[in-house]
């Protein structure tokens, strides 16, 4: 080394070169990471470029019937003449609050149209209503003594106090033979009938209560009276 050369100059140059190399490596690393995060090669599902995002479809819903449904009416109870021009089939749950709202609507419809309309009741107790099935079975016990509709009305008019003890009490108030009714209710004599009607409802496209079929055409929910009148009037005009 010559006397006039400064050794620190070489050190400064070396440090400068190392700094340039370090900056270059950091920039390359940044570009690689950015590309990977935007759909590159870090092992995740790509979301950039021409790849379409993954879309999770919503849960499938039962399709509504496309045409008239031929509902099985065997073993059912009805109000109105069998030869009425319009038959309304109601799949219902005694503990359902929406069915309770439809109860006065159906009474008003029957009163307005008289012999032109028949109402048929079918059981569809929902699993999360603990009193729905016992009430359905008890109504069949009442029907055994020709008091189905009286018991039906009693339950809907006292929906806030449903219990097996009250079903037996109401049976007595309606003049039913108490021992026969009690034995029928306690033995769950009509369990299979209620289950069968529920299965039929599912096959008919019922997924909730109340569900109605007016000459086979489905109407779902506690609809206003005008909705039923429109459907009935359309049938009567045919």
Q: What is the pTM of this model?
A: 0.73
Residues in the chain predicted with pLDDT less than 50, given as ranges, are 1-4, 11, 21, 23, 25, 27-62
Contact (CB, 8 A) for 227 and 234: no
Contact (CB, 8 A) for 129 and 93: yes
Report the pLDDT value the prediction gives residue 66, as an integer from 0 to 100.
58
Per DSSP, the residues of the chain read --TT--HHHHHHHHHHHHHHHHHHHHHHHHHHHHHHHTTSSSSS---STTPPPP-PPPPP-PPPPSS------TT-EEES-TT-SEEEEEEE-TT-HHHHHHHHHHHHHHHHHGGGEEEEEEE---TT-TTHHHHHHHHHHHHTTT-HHHHHHHHHHTGGG--HHHHHHHHHHTT--HHHHHHHHHHTTTHHHHHHHHHHHHHHT--SSSEEEETTEEEESS--HHHHHHHHHHHHT-
Report the pLDDT value the prediction gives residue 142, as an integer from 0 to 100.
98
Domains of the chain, start order: 89-236 (3.40.30.10)
Report the pLDDT value the prediction gives residue 141, as an integer from 0 to 100.
98
């Amino acid at each position: 080394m010559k006397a006039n050369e400064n050794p620190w100059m070489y050190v400064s140059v070396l440090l400068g070169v190392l700094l340039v190399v370090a900056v270059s490596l950091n920039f390359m690393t940044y570009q690689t990471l950015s590309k990977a995060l935007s759909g590159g090669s870090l092992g995740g599902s790509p979301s950039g470029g021409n790849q379409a995002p993954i879309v999770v479809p919503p849960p499938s819903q039962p399709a509504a019937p496309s045409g008239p449904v031929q509902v099985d009416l065997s073993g059912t109870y009805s109000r109105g003449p069998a030869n009425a021009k319009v038959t309304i089939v109601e799949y219902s749950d005694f503990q359902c609050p929406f069915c309770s709202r439809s109860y006065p609507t159906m009474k008003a419809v029957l009163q307005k149209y008289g012999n032109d309309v028949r109402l048929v009741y079918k059981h569809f107790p929902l699993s999360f209503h603990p009193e729905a099935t016992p009430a359905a079975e008890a109504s069949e016990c009442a029907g055994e003594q020709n008091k189905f509709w009286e018991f039906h009305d009693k339950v809907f008019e006292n929906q806030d106090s449903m219990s097996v003890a009250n079903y037996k009490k109401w049976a007595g108030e309606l003049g039913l033979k108490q021992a026969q009714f009690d034995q029928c209710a306690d033995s769950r004599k009509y369990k299979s009938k209620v289950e069968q009607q529920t299965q039929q409802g599912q096959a008919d496209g019922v997924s909730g209560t109340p569900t109605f079929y007016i000459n086979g055409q489905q109407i779902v929910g506690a609809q206003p009276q005008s909705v039923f009148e429109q459907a009935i009037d359309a049938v009567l005009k045919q």
